[in-house]
Amino acid sequence: MNLDNATVLITGANRGLGLAFAREALARGARKVYAGARDPAAITLPGVVPIRLDVTNADDVAAAARACGDVTLLINNAGIAAPGGFIGDDSIAAAQRHLDTNFFGPLRLTQAFAPILAANGGGAILNVLSIASWINSPTLGSYGMSKSAAWAMTNGTRLELREQKTQVLALHVGFIDTDLTRGMDVPKTAPEAVVRTTFDALEAGASEVLADEITRQVHQGLSANPAVYLKAIGE
């Protein structure tokens, strides 16, 4: 899919990776960029159209679909990442919170906008996933679980939407240098670099993009013996 003259909707576009997606979409000639956020007042980037959009709120999603009927590219970027594994007292509640934002959020948007994309010629959906779609750790258990679920959903919807010619691209990446990873002493990739790599893959017609070296290494290790997912992140 070509970004030139596209109409783009980005969830979680007020900061971090979402803001970088908005800037680069404009730079590549997008005709219109809808910037979704829980608080539209948090959207300050010139040239975008702020949209109130909490991906966990079905009414917000429905309202966005009514207001943005010209969308040709949906970027499911909004997400949360809280520390914690699966055995703690609050693990069920944490898992539900992560699933509601990181899995059901993109699913709600995909369901709402699939007919719009079909009416506009097919278009594309870009789902922001993670290296944690494939590997997990006690520190990011619920987050990784939600991204694994979102990866499965991405692969399934790609097949379901093939007939309407909607490109579905999965972005896998490690730690990105944003507010989400502030305070983490780990190697990080600049969001602008991730976005450039991702949009290049989108415009090349790809179905999956591995946006940094650590993600490419982990992807290779999925078929190793022992497989990389038998170890925790960072081991």
Active site residues: 143, 147
Q: Which residues pair with 208 in a beta bridge?
A: 170
Burial of 187 (0-12, 13-18, 19+ CB in 10 A): exposed
Distance CA(49)–CA(14), nearest Å, equals 11
Task: Enter the tokens of residue 142.
Answer: 């619920």
CB 172 within 8 A of CB 220: no
Identify any residues that bridge with 167 across adjacent strands, giving them in sequence order.
Answer: 124
Provide the b/e sequence for 115-138 (b: ≥16 CB within 10 Å): ebbeebebbbbbbbbbbbbbbbbe
The pair of three-digit structure tokens given for residue 115, joined into one six-digit string: 């007919």
Q: Cα separation of 57 and 45, whole Å? A: 24
Cis upstream peptide for 106 (omega within 30°):
no
SS3 content of the chain, % helix, strand, coil (to 5): 45, 15, 40
Q: 16-27 and 191-203 helices cross at what angle (nearest 10)?
A: 50
